[in-house]
Amino acid sequence: MGFLFFPQTVWIPCFTICRASYNSIAILNANWRNQNGCENKTHMHTSQSPITEIPNIFKPRSARFATARRSDKDIQLTLFLFFFGLLVLLTFIWFVRKRRREIVTRRNRFSSTIRYTPAPTRSSVNIDSNDEEPHEELFYRLNRLGITYNIYKKKYEIDPLNLKVNAEKLGDGQYGFVNVGYLHNGEKRLKVAVKRSHKPHDEYEQGMFMAELTVMCAIEKHPNVLALIGGVTLTKPNKIIMEFVDEGSLLKFLDKYKKNEKDTYKELSTFDLISFAYQIAKGMEHLARIRCVHRDLASRNVLITSDGITKIGDFGLSRKYENKEYYRPRKEDPFKTFQPWLWMAPEAFENNRFTEKSDVWSFAVCLFEIFSLGDLPILNEIMRPFWKTADYLPQPKYCSDSVYEFMKLCWSENPEERPTFSECCDFFEKQLKHRSVKRFEDLERKLKKISKEHKTFKNWAGIN
């Protein structure tokens, strides 16, 4: 390296970068100005003189290319992060706008079919300081069932001041628990069952709770279906008021007999077991007639009175379906909704398709529970649907051959080969008459009496 000097100006270092290649030499010269400037003197460049970075054009080719590659990668990464973030932002905006459109559409649908009624004033209804508008889910569910809120309020809304809830618990379910309560109407008093939500402020659970209330509003009274008296929706916690059934669940009732703990119902005969099956079939026939699937039919969800009348209850999963051949849940969270898979038909378990025929399958599993006095419907103590390992459950201890053959028919793999609930009623009616016509006629009289009692429930609910 050499130096060129010019008087009164600056020193200019001359870098000679040589690259020999077959008799050719490339010489590059570059000029620097001293960082501290010059004072009309000639300066020699020393090791202490500050030198800035050599421009890129004067670097070896390999170094220039490495720098370019790093620069290109940085640009590519920046562009990727920019467009990815933009895509995420646009997706979020689309989701928010879609959700808002759904809410607006729902509200418009409500306003076109339901005339909203403001919460009753204190002059008309005595309601405590928890006064509030009914849950939006109530309007939505009523609208889907073709029931206006005004009709619901006049037929089913109950003034909470007329209701007293006791601490005595009757049962506990997936979305609520049931206590004993009393409705007051002047000097009259009616013993009832009061259901409340486990989590009254949880939106999902509250929606499922309202679904149960509204589907019970759509079910007309039947002696073998648990009757709705009314609901409390204008104050928290919301409540479902139902008729009181003194013996509780059929499963516990059967279990007491199995353990020889029952003494009030003196004796349990084959006629009684067939009678339970017949009454459950009657109640399910009523639901099928209005195109309502229960989806959770089991002996634990069937209630029984002290005189042997059975009533289908627990409508938490029950739904009405119109203009379709089957019902398929769409808004239910599979992680929050219990599915009774030991009782479920294959098409319900695997494809989420629920029809009268899927309820018939569950009915046959319920028959297994009845005629075994409450055995769990499993094979070899393995907790999985029996149809995954065998065609049928084994014949229960107290089940006749003819009844067992009918159960197997209900477990046909093809739903179309299963009987309807009307055919189930006919089958068990013949079984009852074959054993005792007189006892069958007595049963029918009891059912007619209950139908008359149900008509009086309308006197305990309704707010004008």
Domain boundaries, the chain: 1-58, 250-459
Burial class (CB in 10 A: 0-12, 13-18, 19+), 379: middle
DSSP H stretches of helix in 243-334: 250-258, 270-289
Contact 345, 373 (CB under 8 A): no
Residue 400 has pLDDT above 50, yes or no: yes
Sorted by sequence, the CB contacts under 8 Å of residue 133 that are 6+ apart come out as: 118, 119
Question: What tokens were used for 265?
Answer: 């119902």
> Which of the following is catalytic: 296, 333, 359, 375?
296
Burial class (CB in 10 A: 0-12, 13-18, 19+), 115: exposed
Contact 245, 311 (CB under 8 A): yes
Q: How many residues does the chain have?
A: 464
> SS3 of 321, please?
coil
Question: What tokens were used for 159?
Answer: 């003034």
| pLDDT averaged over every residue in the chain | 79
Active site includes 296?
A: yes
Question: pLDDT tens for residues 403-458?
Answer: 999 999 999 999 999 999 999 999 999 999 999 999 999 999 999 999 999 998 98
Sorted by sequence, the CB contacts under 8 Å of residue 120 that are 6+ apart come out as: 127, 234, 463
Residue 60 confidence (pLDDT): 57
Question: pLDDT tens for residues 109-160?
Answer: 433 333 333 333 333 333 333 445 666 778 888 888 888 888 888 899 999 9
Residue 418 confidence (pLDDT): 96
249 or 133: which carries more pLDDT confidence? 249
Q: Is 195 annotated as a binding residue?
A: yes
Residue 203 confidence (pLDDT): 83
Sorted by sequence, the CB contacts under 8 Å of residue 349 that are 6+ apart come out as: 339, 341, 385
Identify the CA nearest to 406 among candidates 442, 369, 364.
364
Helix 356-371 and helix 250-258: axis angle, to 10°? 20
Question: What tokens were used for 313?
Answer: 């209850």
Burial string for 234-256 (b: 16+ CB within 10 Å, else e) reads: bbbebbbbbbbbebbbbbebbbb
Question: pLDDT tens for residues 289-306?
Answer: 999 999 999 999 999 999
CATH code of the domain occupying 250-459: 1.10.510.10
Is-above-0.95 flag for pTM? Answer: no
Residue 176 has pLDDT above 70, yes or no: yes
